[in-house]
Chains A and B, each alone.
Chain A
Amino acid sequence: MSFKSIITQKEDQNIFLNRILFSSLLILLLASIIFIRLVFLQIYDSDQYKLRSLNNTIRTQSIPPSRGLIFDRNNNVLAENRPVFQLEMIPEQVQHIEKTLDQLAELQLININKVDALNEKIEKIDNSYQFKAITLNTKLSEKQIAIFANHRNIFKGIDIKTRLTRYYPKGEVFSHALGYVGSISSNDYLRFDSAIYTGKEQIGKTSIERNYETSLHGYPGKEKLLVNVRGRVMDRLNTQPFEPGNNLILTLDTRLQEVAYDAMQGKKGAVVGIDPSNGEILIFISTPSYDPNKISQGMSNSEYAAFLNNKNKPLFNRAIAGQYPPGSTIKPMLALGGLDMGYINPDNFIPCEGHYFLPNYSRPFNDWTTHGSVNTKRAIQASCDVYFYQLAVEMGIENMSAFLSNFNLGKKTLIDIGSEKKGIIPNRAWKKNNFKSKQNQSWFKGETVIAGIGQGYMLATPLQLAMATAMIANRGSAFQPHLVRAIENIKTGELQYTPTEEINNLEHIKEEHWDIIHQGMIAVVNERRGTAYGIFQPNVPIAGKTGSSQVFSIDKSSNKEVPEELRDHGLFIGFAPLDTPKIALTVIIENGGGGRLAAAPVAEKIMRAILDSEKKNAL
């Protein structure tokens, strides 16, 4: 190291001091930049960053509400919510996912065919969602729960969780009235306000569950969660509980419904029973039925496909969507029209020789038997076709259709569940609108003749016939049929009853004309030669009418066995008791043969149950 003079040392120091001064100013400048930047971040933009910090860590999670319960008119539970057990996995807690899934499959806790799909699903999960549970099996049996409990120690990160699902204690008996629920599909979001759905709850798919969805659903709760960067919940900040859905009280009577379902076992068809005094539906059955629990708890695709492909169509709601030719059940209504319009004199007897000829027609219209001499009452009692062929020709199709419309036939009853069909009451205008070729659009006289016995184009649903029967029972008036009696507000406990409005299109009918119709219908059940005579106990206060509607024109003279699906539909309409009718009933048995042999016995069982309880009440 060379020695430096004092002077050079001084010079060195000056230069150095110069530079140090410059550096110090630079330091202050840089420190100021940092300070200003910090002021901007922590004061000027602080609110924005506070918000972003909250957004990082606060997750709002909605809690699905519990669905409203459904009761029958006597407070028996028809639909409730029950916990089901499902197997869940939290991927981040499981070390060897593939191995674990294989072990679970070996113990038959998960479906072996689903292992690959589950593996794939878990692999795809984003890293920041590894804490979220994956459902491995949506429904564990009690045996499976026990097996899992025995092996719990080897399955870390796997657990049994419960969730609520819809349960229908009466199973198949109420399925067509109640409908069923299922997971929400994209179509469902179009029907309802998606804002009040969490996506986790079940939604009504058919019938009451669907139509009263807004009442049953309730409002979801919310909980604020503090989550870390991986989304794991660290804390629950606050919870706003859900509002449960409102309960429904139905008009249905479980006892009658069960009697009717029992009577319908093994048969295809429908039973609808209405209280004529208020339109409340007491019985609502369509068979074959299905187990709504299976559908609501989720069934496999193959099970569901089997359902859809079943030729007996168990999912088809015959009570409101099945359209049948009313057959002879139309006769009391037509007779009333004939009396009212003066086409028939109730005391006039006309001869029935078993067939009817239209002028200039060579082909006869056959009666099912030869009745001899019949008046109005006897024509109803013994279901004489010739009498009504003649009446139809005299009235003409326009008068017939106009009068039958008064019984709400040919239009929807507006019952409080969907997918209702409106049936057909044909006339010239209807035919013109519904046929394509000019040739088919014109009305033929022969079509008027068979309309007289409820055949041809004429169609009605079981519900429509039950409502028409209620009008006969009430001598003209009726109420809109409905299944929900009241909605119970879950918060206030208040019952909001379904309003019932009386409608009466038949006020002008004379009492004596009603009497004749009623006498005819009572005779059907209680008098010799009545078509349902002998089916019921003697002297029951029941009025009825059988009907058989042709599916196919069959030569009756041949004794060959007729294939089942070509056999006639059997129908029965009736009401009881006579003085203050409690029920207007329709029974339809598809391909069951005639009304007397197929439908009347079913009606008898139901009527007996009703009259028995009436008797008990009277005591």
Chain B
Amino acid sequence: MLFKKQYDSLSSEDLFRKFHIDLPLLIAFLILFSISLIAIYSASNSDINAVIDQSIRIGVSLAAMILIAQMSPLDYERIAPWLYSLCFILLGLVLILGETRNGATRWLNIGISFQPSELMKIGMPLMVARYIARESLPPSKTSIALAVMIVILPTYLIYLEPDLGTSVLVAFSGLIVIFLSGIKKRYLAIAFSLFITSLPLIWPMINEFQRKRVLTFLNPEKDPLGAGYHIIQSKIAIGSGGLFGKGWLNGSQGQLDFLPERTTDFIFSILAEEFGLVGVVIIICIYLFIVGRGILIAINSQDLFSRLIAASISLTFFIYVFVNISMTIGLLPVVGVPLPLISRGGTSMVTLMILLGMLMSVGTHKRLVTK
């Protein structure tokens, strides 16, 4: 009787709440994971091993998310400076001791090989949020200046690796916190015009490989078999998909290997080719749902730190989605950003799921932090 009563009183919603899981978010994630497996099976020319590998990564990522969600936002606030400092030191070490692959020094080998810049994706928003949240909004000029320094220093180290894409995204996750903190529009205007005017100065400093990427993006047809190949083939895949797509495993661009990097950066093109506009609009809606749910969590949370990290995570998540899709449809240069939760790849998925675990934590721990 006792057991039964306990069981009755424990509704499923309570069960998830107890384990700090946000059910709508979890469902959205699971849908995207399923899409990921379907897309990877097609993109890997029906290689079941690729699907098994991805399933394992998904399992590990989900576990990491649930684990992180058990911690309270207060814990994140506490470890933020330590995590940030550790990441910063590791980024410095990468430049000295790191492994070089394909001309980029991004990896550090401490038994296992990993990218400290990935870890900074977590450290950055936490650190900036903690720094901004220590005083009331809007932050003072000196706070802003210091916060900007917090953002710029690691960004520059990542840029040196070189890894332009990650450095921009890491910078974004910090800057979004400063923006959300209510920085005056005047400063925003100044920052924006500074950025625009400095472009001609920055341009010659960017290395040739990245310059070429940008030029290719501006005119892919100039070198259709070389640098422009990715973009052109991706657009052909997406465009030829039409309204309803060619059907699963029937996309010629993907199945016949015309589309490069199609399990990772260009997996969106596979989805667009095989499932058409209808399919990808549904996927975009799921992403928008996740972002919207995240923003709602941010709004509903009671303290500034929680609010800032929840909002930063949600907006950064959207930016990942936006950059990846824009790059496949030729709106942005190819910068090597995977499509969140769908692209094949371990590290980036674990990082992202840790961030989303924090989002869940904020969403489910709020009552505990109210005084």
Contacts and interface: CB of A to CB of B under 8 A. Distances in A.
Interface in A339-370: none
A16 interface: yes
Given A1-B134, A12-B137, A23-B315, A49 B284 contact: no
B257 interface: yes
Contacts of B241: 42, 46
A46 B240 contact: yes
Given A23-B180, A34-B329, A43-B242, A53 B237 contact: yes
Contacts of B291: 27
A38 B243 contact: no
A50 interface: yes
B135 to A, nearest CB: 7
Interface string B218-234: 00000000000000010
B371 to A, nearest CB: 9
Interface residues of A, number: 44
Contacts of A16: 137, 180-182, 304, 307-308, 311
Q: Which of B133, B239, B243, B326 has the most CB of A within 10 A?
A: B239
Label chain B's interface by main secondary structure: helix
Contacts of B330: 37
Nearest to B176: A23
Interface stretch (B58-66, B201-209, B275-283, B350-358): B275-283
Contacts of A53: 236-237, 239-240, 252-253
B315 A27 contact: yes
A2 B133 CA distance: 9
A229 interface: yes
A74 interface: no
A42 B299 contact: no
A31 interface: yes
Contacts, number: 135
A42 B136 contact: no
Interface string A1-22: 1101000110111011111100
Contacts of A234: 256
Contact of A20 (B280, B288, B295, B322): B295
B239 to A, nearest CB: 3
A34 B322 contact: yes
B60 to A, nearest CB: 29
A300 B44 CA distance: 49
Given A38-B272, A42-B277, A229-B257, A15 B239 contact: no
Contacts of B159: none
A46 B242 contact: yes
Interface string A32-46: 011101110111011
A82 B90 CA distance: 73
A41 B307 contact: no
B331 interface: yes
Contacts of A35: 281, 284
Contacts of A57: 252, 256, 258
Nearest to B182: A15
Contacts of B162: none
Contact of A42 (B133, B176, B258, B276): B276
3 A-B pairs with least C-beta separation: A49-B239, A15-B182, A53-B240
Interface of B: 77, 133-138, 176, 179-182, 233, 235-243, 252-253, 256-258, 272, 276-277, 280-281, 284, 288, 291-292, 295, 298-299, 304, 307-308, 311, 315, 318, 322, 325-326, 329-331
15 contacts: A1-B133, A11-B136, A16-B180, A20-B311, A23-B176, A34-B329, A37-B330, A37-B331, A38-B272, A38-B329, A46-B240, A46-B242, A49-B239, A56-B256, A57-B256
